[in-house]
Amino acid sequence: MQRTRWFVMLVLILAACSSHFLESCTSFCFRADGHWVFGRNYDWDVAHAVVMVNHRGVAKRGFVTENAARWVSRYGSVTFNQYGREFPLGGMNEASLVVECMWLNATEYPHFDDRPQLHTLQWIQFQLDTADSVAAVVAGIDRFRISQYFAQPLHFLVADASGNAAVVEFLEGEARVYTGAELPVTVLANSTYRHSLALLNMLGSGEEASAFSHADLSLKRFVRAARGVSEWSEGEGLGAVAYAFGVLDEVAMKRTVFRVVYEPGGKRIHFLTRAHPSPRVVRMDAFEYECAGEVYFLDMATPTQGDVTSSFKTFSSADNQALIEKAFKETSFLKDTPREMLDKLAGFPDTLCCAEDAGD
């Protein structure tokens, strides 16, 4: 009974948390020099976050009460985390797969069945742990089910090093995937892709039409990002990363606390924060991702510049506890969360081990 009580409480906490911090985000990708450049704005009231290095060869499970999904991470990854390790907001793996999520009120995940289940944000980590391409994500879309008890309404933009991309949505209990010809514009905000694309097709990229002035902020950001993506030209002299940050500027909100630009082809991740607006870069190839190694992280508030790869430090259980406590304390509707709940969430990564130790 006690176990059920704290899990129900944690479900409510994470649901409220996710709904608030993802509701205004925007993402996009465009081709530059034969490779994707992927941009993402993170809009939220709390700025504190870390860049996390995740290992391959870890036996993992869904953070649910029963019929938990189980998998072993095949790829290391670098993710952006705010409310604890193993629950990323997005990131890129060793195979150069990028996954980012946006809030979508229309989301309806598959109804209860006998498939193993996992938490919504774990779906992101699962893809980064196991998939090397958009095709792999799409092929395994029905393997696990996002738990109804952890069903924050999200949709996802995914891209890989081969130049493929996909939008993944869950609508009316079914997975809906847009790829290839069905994905003419690689942009995502907080309306369904179909609805967003319909408005864009009606407007072109113009903002003078009445339909644009009456559209909600999500649709306006989609149109503006789509315009930015379509106007990229390699001959203009502005680098692709700088151009991507410029598009992110165009769709920024007052609540935009950090911006990320991924280069899957070069395995580099650029980011800047509201407090430190100079772009910094992380080189993914510089890390060791072996399971037995130390876990490393970088506090995004660290006043560093340029290449910050060497600034990463060892991430401990105490660091995870501190990350969670700071984020919850600074979130108005989470600041009174019971100590027991914080401890359960903070201790979850310590219950995972290397696959060889787990006998997998």
The two tokens of residue 329 are: 């304390």
DSSP 8-class letter at 336: T
- Alpha-carbon span 62 to 126, nearest angstrom: 9
315-347 CB burial, b ≥16 within 10 A, e <16: beeebbbebbeebbeebeebeebeeebbebbbe
- 2-352: CATH class: alpha beta
DSSP 8-class letter at 123: H
The two tokens of residue 95 are: 């195979």
Indicate the angle between helix axes 317-330 and 339-347, nearest 10 degrees.
140
pLDDT-derived band at 206, boundaries 50, 70, 90: low
Say what the pTM is.
0.91
**Average pLDDT over the chain, rounded to an integer:** 90
Q: How many of the other CB atoms lie within 10 Å of CB of 112?
A: 11
pLDDT-derived band at 74, boundaries 50, 70, 90: very high
Helix (H) or strand (E) holding 283: strand 280-283
Helix (H) or strand (E) holding 293: none
Q: How large is the average pLDDT for residues 167-180?
A: 97
For 331-352, write each residue's pLDDT tens digit. Answer: 777 789 889 888 988 999 999 9
Domain boundaries, the chain: 2-352
Could you tell me which residue, 4 or 142, shows the higher pLDDT?
142
- Alpha-carbon span 83 to 323, nearest angstrom: 7
pLDDT at 203: 81
- Alpha-carbon span 80 to 104, nearest angstrom: 20
- Alpha-carbon span 319 to 299, nearest angstrom: 10
pLDDT-derived band at 238, boundaries 50, 70, 90: confident
- Angstrom distances, CA of residue 263 to CA of 34, 67, 157, 162, 311: 11, 37, 15, 12, 20
